[in-house]
Chain A
Amino acid sequence: MLTFKNVSKVYGKTKKAVNSLNLNINKGEFICIIGPSGCGKTTTMKMINRLIEPSEGHILIEGKDIMDQPKVKLRRDIGYVIQQIGLFPHMTIGENITLVPKLLQWPKEKRKARAEELIELVHLSKDYLDRYPQELSGGQQQRIGVLRALASNPPLILMDEPFGALDPITRDGLQEEFKDLQQRLGKTIVFVTHDMDEAIKLADRIVIMRDGEIVQVDTPDEILRNPANEFVENFIGKDRLIQTKPGVTKVGQIMNKVPATIHKEETLSTAIKQMKEKRVDSLLVIDHEHHLEGYIDVEDIEQNRKKSTTVSEIVETELYKVKENSLIRDTIQKMLKRHTKYVPVVDENNKLKGIVTRATLADLVYDSIWGEEESEEELTTLQ
């Protein structure tokens, strides 16, 4: 899909920003380019749509040399998202999204239909199309920034630290949404970041760069397991290497397979009895087929004891769930961020499979740092 052949970028006479780079990117692949400031990652990306012209070598898209195509046409065929979002303040969201289709002279009805189709992808209502960028939150704006890149349905999208300016919780949500979108639409993504967590979470393969050269290209798992050299090790950071185990462990491997549950038609007094027996303060609510309905906790029962009699009347359905094949390290992060005590594990049909609790995590952390000298310190920071 995208091939770099001995590509270099030289500034002035001697300063090599990128030095003889070779890289092959497959169709549908999510590539993260990562490295310290000034390593040439942004230059590498911008050479793809010729915002920066390569000094030597060739870049091929689907076998065609980018230097043989007019710049403007090339760029219209490649999606582009920048960190500062760059929505045009004097155009409505709809106009912003369909800018490239307009440049490509799509008829008006087709543009409108496309805008409506796209805005649904990010779960925003159609009303947003008539609003202006400054009326949206940062997270919403960058969703629009991503949609704008998708508008003409380009097979390749370049992203320059697109989530870097967002707050951690918004970023987390957007990363997930975007990864999901990318997989559904089968786009090839070249994504520049300096955030290792982001790269590990999103990338199919990570390209680590330093001083204009590629140090290592591999899947996140492989990079965590076998860093190519000391630079990569330092760049990943010791903390992450210690966490490598949670990094590659799936939720299904460590979850508790017999969570404390209650049937939704049971009475509240049964629920309390159950809690006392199992010494827990909340229960997962399920139906006949073992589908997860929600949860109840002791406080809810306390408040509604007089008004309600069955569990289904007070069940809390808003809860965060994970799948068996989710990575445990993402799950840990989310539990810590959201301050939840546990996360139920479900399958595709929402059938309850198990539960990950903070106690499960403590076991895991204890296992993974067993034998580490600073285990005591690590434990205190995690508590």
Chain B
Amino acid sequence: MNAMIQFLNDQGTTLLYKTWEHLFISITAVLLGIIVAVPLGVALTRFKKAAETVIRIVSVIQTLPSLAILAFFIPILGVGKLPAIIALFCYSMLPILRNTYISIKNTDQNLLEAGRGMGMTSWQLIYKIELPLAVPVIMAGIRISTVYLIGWATLASFVGAGGLGDFIFDGLNLYMPELILAGAIPSTILALLADWTLGLLERKLTPTTTSKQSELA
């Protein structure tokens, strides 16, 4: 306990700063992932033949060892936050892409026929029918991605991106378990908090389908 207070006294500001860095790297990567994977997932439902191939490629990226990917970007992008964010972004793609693709693909065909028959354009079908109804599944993909990325972002320290990984690797190098904990515990807390926040967001974004629900909201 004393050691902990001692540590917070010495390293409190660094810890806050590293936590912020960690969060910044993960969130940016997830945001990039959403910006790319959600539209791509929707687009793939329009080109079903290409869909399988694209999803397979993204799956392969997912299986590459994370350290290897991080190292792979050093010759191209150098060291620092950028290669870390790009590498993590690659990882965030699969859950979001797959969930978007599957949920949009499984939209009730009758709803689409009704919409089309009433004269909705393809865009209107996407943003008025398909996306709102797919929100819960897409959000599930985003939550999984975020939690994973916050864990994996500790590895970003290897390419000089900073974040809580710095504590963990310092701890490993110096045989100081308390430093490892100082990196691991905040990282876990971050992941839990992010999941909880996204859960709230999911509930907010999911369209209501009963009048009782809307009374509660």
Contact = CB atoms under 8 A, between A and B. Distances in A.
Nearest to B133: A90
B126 interface: no
Interface string A57-94: 00000000000000111111100101011111110100
Contact of A132 (B115, B132, B208): B208
Contacts of A75: 116-119
B114 interface: yes
B110 interface: yes
Contact of B114 (A76, A86, A134, A135): A86
B118 A76 contact: yes
A51 B209 contact: no
A205 interface: no
Contacts of B108: 86
Given A80-B117, A82-B117, A132 B209 contact: yes
Interface string B112-130: 0111111111001000010
A71 B114 CA distance: 14
Most buried by B among A49, A92, A132, A134: A132
Nearest to B212: A135
Contacts, number: 68
Contacts of A135: 210-211
Contacts of B118: 75-76, 80, 99-100, 103, 148
A108 interface: no
Most buried by A among B116, B117, B121, B133: B117
Interface of B is mostly: helix
Nearest to B111: A86
Given A75-B119, A80-B114, A90 B132 contact: yes
B207 interface: yes
Interface string B81-106: 00000000000000000000000000
Interface residues of B, number: 21
A265 interface: no
Contacts of A82: 110, 113-114, 117
Given A90-B207, A90-B209, A132-B209, A85 B110 contact: yes
A51 B110 contact: no
Nearest to B210: A132
Contacts of A74: 119
Contacts of B132: 90
Contact of B211 (A49, A77, A132): A132
Contacts of B111: 86, 88-89
Contact of A134 (B121, B129, B133, B209): B209
17 contacts: A49-B117, A71-B119, A72-B119, A72-B121, A75-B117, A77-B119, A82-B113, A82-B114, A82-B117, A84-B110, A85-B110, A86-B113, A88-B111, A89-B209, A90-B207, A100-B119, A135-B211
Interface of A: 49, 51, 71-77, 80, 82, 84-90, 92, 99-100, 103, 130-135, 148, 158
Interface of B: 108, 110-111, 113-121, 124, 129, 132-133, 207-211
